[in-house]
Structure 1
């Protein structure tokens, strides 16, 4: 159901990305070299007049914790070395010098999956200096997790949330309304469950309405008319109703993916979905 990856129509992208997002394009231009990515981005921001004394890293795309330990250490080490200018030989050394750098790393977020969020994975992320996790959940229903080939159970989501919070991480969840076999009311109920059930209740949320992109199984369902997205006005209503349910202690980091519209065969048709949903919240007399 996700685009990207080496065997996809978007062969130069990481899993779940097309390679045409601004962040992905910068990574490809740097040949995915972590040191070059950081140095070039910091210099770019400085040239635009920004005071770059603090940065936050977000490791996006694929499942970082599924990669070889040596590569992971190399990647994180070079992130920190790019800030300090020092050439380190271990993650611990890189973090030590990064702490003394003029440009401080004030946070490291790693995207992962529930099945790559066990105790050994959490220990590794703590060593990297990770402060926040982004975990793909998409749905709280077992049948939807199975039908969309998530590769893990809903119980695995609950378990990883519990472990991650106990380890001191902030947890940001990715949720995906408008999946096949859902429907408007079931989507609303899924978010109610997500916000109210103590087994879930993340610290933050990213809402990614389902997009149909070529090269995915969902594209084939859409092409044969076995799947249809919500109408634009219905999607705005849904997001508005979800925003009205969000607890005051939960931060909504993003609504909709940063995928160029020409690559989207069906789904979100506007680039300002959050703005339109908030306007709809006010029209309905609700609060967010």
Structure 2
């Protein structure tokens, strides 16, 4: 076991995640002791030890600067001990492009931004360049939006045909809730109506129906939702309408025909892998052929913006498996491709089973091969984010044709426009024009309002969910 101890909780989050990035399969103990000396101490399994004293950072009065100093010195020591340079250096946050965007908006030149990332955060030149390219593309998309009067809408459908072993989202097996879906839809439509009343006069820029798997709804339920959205909101300023069809085993021709009758501009058909052995192992109850059949069906019905998701590092897969998956995806020719490096969360079954994923060096090859396949399909990287416990300390990257970038995906990462969310487990993010005092005593211009995840609780407490948002929306 690796042991981390600190006098202050300020340092523990970064120290844990930096250490975990170097030693993903090693248990890490954490202890906060206000009376200990030194300030922080890290002891590896072999007995190697590193510490930082109070005296080394006394000259730094800002807490964030102190945290950055400690994180960087621990990173440098671990890198020297292991001989490993992490692709994203000491960055532990999930939104590296947000940091880069800040530098772009100050007018910093591109070479200066890359040097800044390398010097201040030990980011590799390759990832710094990738982050910069994406930040520039994100900015070009965001410049088209009205931050002050515009907003986006997320609608959550928390049901799936089955729960994948790596999944930590707010999803529930359809079979368990089949008799209560209409009750869920009643509550959801009430929340949507309340949001619609609150935003009259504002511009709806994007809609994203996610989950879960929205297409677990029957065709008539899906039509009810889409009709209610159309009756509630004005689409005059709508730039994108995404429905995450997701699981091929939930998609039928009838459901696709319903989607085609409404202003849905983008759908997602997500295989995650095109290896049947892996689909079976992670609990996806569909075949590789199902993916191909549904994709071709969607094309024939006129869908011209189809995204596909893949996961690099699924259990049992190697770089050869990923190359075969990419070969099959290239033959289909999606308009965008999102490649995730596997991240095991505690809420996922793999996490609960303490699955020790082999983070072999091939994960880097999988990521590189994905980028190459995307380039061959004419797709460019347009958004990027990272997750805790992500395989190989890599990233998730969205690639798209020049005119098919997912605007909502950029907004959810950059947090520059209000996103109002409806549904169990959904999260509203209200962007205020200036910082205000939060309940935790800190000042921020971003207000987060979480809906309860439990479906029964959501149905029973829908008035409370509406009221919580109303405290900010109707002020």
Q: TM-score range by the shorter chain?
A: 0.5 to 0.7
Q: In the superposition, relative to structure 1, how do residues 140 and 224 fare at CA in structure 2: closer, same or farther (>3 Å)?
A: closer
Please give the secondary structure, in 1, of the residue aligned with 2:270. Answer: strand
Matches within 5 A, 1:250-269: 250=379, 252=381, 254-256=383-385, 259=387, 261=388, 264=389, 267=391, 269=393
Out of 205, 219, 229, the position equivalent to 1:55 is 205
Q: Please list every run of 5 or more consecutive structure 1 residues that lacks an aligned counterpart in the other structure.
A: 9-29, 47-51, 85-97, 276-288
Q: Please list every run of 5 or more consecutive structure 2 residues that lacks an aligned counterpart in the other structure.
A: 1-164, 174-187, 399-475
Counterpart Cα distance in 2 of 1:108 and 1:273: 22
Contact 1:117 1:160 in 2 (8 A): yes
Deviation for aligned residue 1:123? 0.9
Contact 1:205 1:254 in 2 (8 A): no
Q: In the superposition, relative to structure 1, how do residues 105 and 60 fare at CA in structure 2: closer, same or farther (>3 Å)?
A: same
Please give the secondary structure, in 1, of the residue aligned with 2:329. Answer: helix
Q: Does 1:120 align with 2:254?
A: yes
Aligned to 1:215: 347
Counterpart Cα distance in 2 of 1:139 and 1:65: 19
Deviation for aligned residue 1:228? 2.6
Matches within 5 A, 1:1-288: 1=165, 2-5=167-170, 33-36=191-194, 52=203, 55-68=205-218, 71-84=221-234, 98=235, 103-112=236-245, 113-169=247-303, 170-195=305-330, 197=331, 200-221=332-353, 223=354, 225=356, 227-230=357-360, 235-246=363-374, 247-250=376-379, 252=381, 254-256=383-385, 259=387, 261=388, 264=389, 267=391, 269=393
Contact 2:244 2:269 in 1 (8 A): yes
Q: TM-score scaled by structure 2?
A: 0.40
Choose between structure 1 and 2: higher strand proportion: 2
| Larger Cα-atom Rg | 2
Counterpart Cα distance in 1 of 2:300 and 2:240: 18
Counterpart Cα distance in 2 of 1:105 and 1:206: 23
After superposition, the C-alpha distances for 1:132-164 in whole angstroms (9 at most, x for unaligned) are 210111111111111111111111000001100
Deviation for aligned residue 1:268? 5.8
